[in-house]
């Protein structure tokens, strides 16, 4: 609720107008990961930082994202959240309990229960917050869902409709909004704007930038270079299942991304 309150009421900004504020990523990281099967990759992201993962399809960046989230098995992979000791037995539920929220790319099969309501889908990860004495509170559930709808400008006349009736962009907003209800320390997003319209993209860009400004660490994999250039404080570029470059601040340009993605 505190995180949502911080983000509520902000003006919508298109990508080209979102200022990337300088960020010092040398402080204590919000999350560190070691992924041996990706060239012994070591990935760290600091509080308030937006870290992008880039690469051509199949070159390791998606596996890195899913391994950190616990959605893919990765032999020997470890993840540490904040000052906690690294853990090995990774899964999405355990990571969520540690404050790491994951938004998968395939919202239809991995993220949403399409036949059920926007209300249920928006609050599915935060059932403890919308329950009283072990029983689901419809009033609390509806209030939380309405907050998600307002925050991300989800186009629906009520949270009671089936989420499958919404456009792809609005479905994605529901999924991202659900991740915010658990008040995460880190948000992992796998290609969050793929296949959605420009208006929905602008809403998501705004929320990602504001999440970082509120102190949340954001990591996202993207196939769209302008997103990486416009939003990220730092980008790790993958090629042939290994990190081949780290670009920071003004180093993040489309030519530099392409050059390293191609292994040049």
b/e burial code for range 219-253 (CB count within 10 A of at least 16 → b): bbbbbebebbbbbbbbbbbbbebbbbbebeeeebe
Residue 173 falls inside a structural domain? no
The conformation of residue 87, written as its DSSP 8-state character, comes to B
What is the structure's pLDDT at 17?
40
Question: What pLDDT score does 254 carry?
Answer: 94
Handedness of CA 165, 168, 172, 175 (dihedral sign): positive
pLDDT at 148 over 60: yes
| Nearest partner of 38 among 216, 221, 255, judged by Cα | 221
Tell me if 147 is assigned to some domain.
Answer: no
> What is the pairing mode between strands 234-238 and 50-54?
parallel
What does the pLDDT read at residue 27? 57
Residue 49, domain CATH: 3.40.50.300
Q: What is the pLDDT of residue 23?
A: 54
What are the strands of the beta sheet with 234-238, ordered from one edge? Answer: 100-103, 186-190, 217-221, 50-54, 234-238, 243-248
3-state secondary structure of 218: strand
Cα-to-chain-centroid distance, residue 36: 23
Could you tell me the pLDDT band of residue 134, with boundaries at 50, 70 and 90?
confident
Asked whether residue 88 is assigned to any structural domain, the reply reads yes
Tell me which H or E stretch contains 206: helix 198-213
DSSP-derived secondary structure letter, 251: G
How does the average pLDDT of the chain come out, rounded? 85
Residue 172 lies in a domain: no
The DSSP 8-state label assigned to residue 165 in this structure reads G
Asked whether residue 175 is assigned to any structural domain, the reply reads no
- Domain enclosing residue 242, as ranges: 2-108+185-261
Q: What is the pLDDT of residues 14-44, one digit of tens each?
A: 444 444 555 555 557 899 999 999 999 999 9
Domains held by the chain: number: 1
Task: Provide the whole-model pTM.
Answer: 0.84
17 in any annotated domain: yes
* pLDDT-based confidence at residue 104 (cuts at 50, 70, 90): confident
Q: In angstroms, how far is CA 232 from the centroid of its own chain?
A: 13
Residue 120 lies in a domain: no
| Conformational region of residue 190, where left means phi above 0, alpha means psi within -120 to 50, and beta covers everything else | beta
Across 2-11, 148-157, 188-197, 211-220, least confident range: 2-11
pLDDT digits (tens, 9 = 90+) for 177-233: 888 888 899 999 999 998 888 888 888 898 899 889 999 999 999 989 999 999 999
What lies within 8 Å, CB to CB, of 211 at 6+ separation is: 3, 7, 180, 187, 218
- Residues 6 or more apart in contact with residue 219 via CB below 8 angstroms: 31, 43, 45, 50, 51, 52, 53, 65, 68, 186, 187, 188, 189
Residue 125, domain member (yes or no): no
């Amino acid at each position: 609720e505190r995180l949502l309150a911080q983000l509520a009421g902000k003006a919508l900004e298109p990508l080209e107008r979102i200022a990337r504020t300088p960020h010092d990523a040398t402080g204590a990281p919000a999350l560190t990961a070691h992924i041996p099967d990706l060239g012994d990759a070591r990935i760290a992201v600091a509080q308030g930082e937006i870290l992008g993962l880039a690469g051509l399809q199949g070159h390791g960046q998606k596996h890195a994202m899913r391994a950190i989230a616990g959605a893919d098995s990765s032999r020997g992979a470890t993840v540490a959240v904040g000052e906690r000791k690294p853990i090995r037995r990774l899964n999405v539920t355990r990571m969520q309990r540690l404050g790491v929220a994951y938004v998968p790319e395939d919202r239809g099969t991995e993220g949403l229960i399409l036949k059920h309501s926007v209300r249920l889908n928006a609050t599915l990860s935060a059932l403890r917050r919308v329950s009283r004495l072990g029983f689901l509170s419809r009033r609390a559930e509806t209030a939380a869902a309405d907050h998600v709808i307002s925050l991300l400008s989800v186009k629906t006349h009520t949270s009671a409709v089936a989420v499958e009736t919404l456009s792809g962009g609005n479905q994605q907003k529901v999924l991202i909004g659900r991740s915010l209800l658990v008040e995460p320390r880190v948000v992992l997003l796998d290609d969050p704007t793929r296949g959605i319209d420009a208006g929905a993209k602008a809403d998501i860009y705004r929320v990602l930038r504001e999440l970082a400004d509120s102190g949340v660490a954001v990591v996202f994999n993207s196939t769209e270079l302008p997103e990486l250039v416009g939003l990220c404080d730092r980008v790790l570029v993958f090629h042939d299942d290994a990190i081949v470059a780290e670009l920071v601040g003004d180093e993040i340009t489309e030519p530099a991304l392409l050059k390293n993605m191609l292994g040049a």
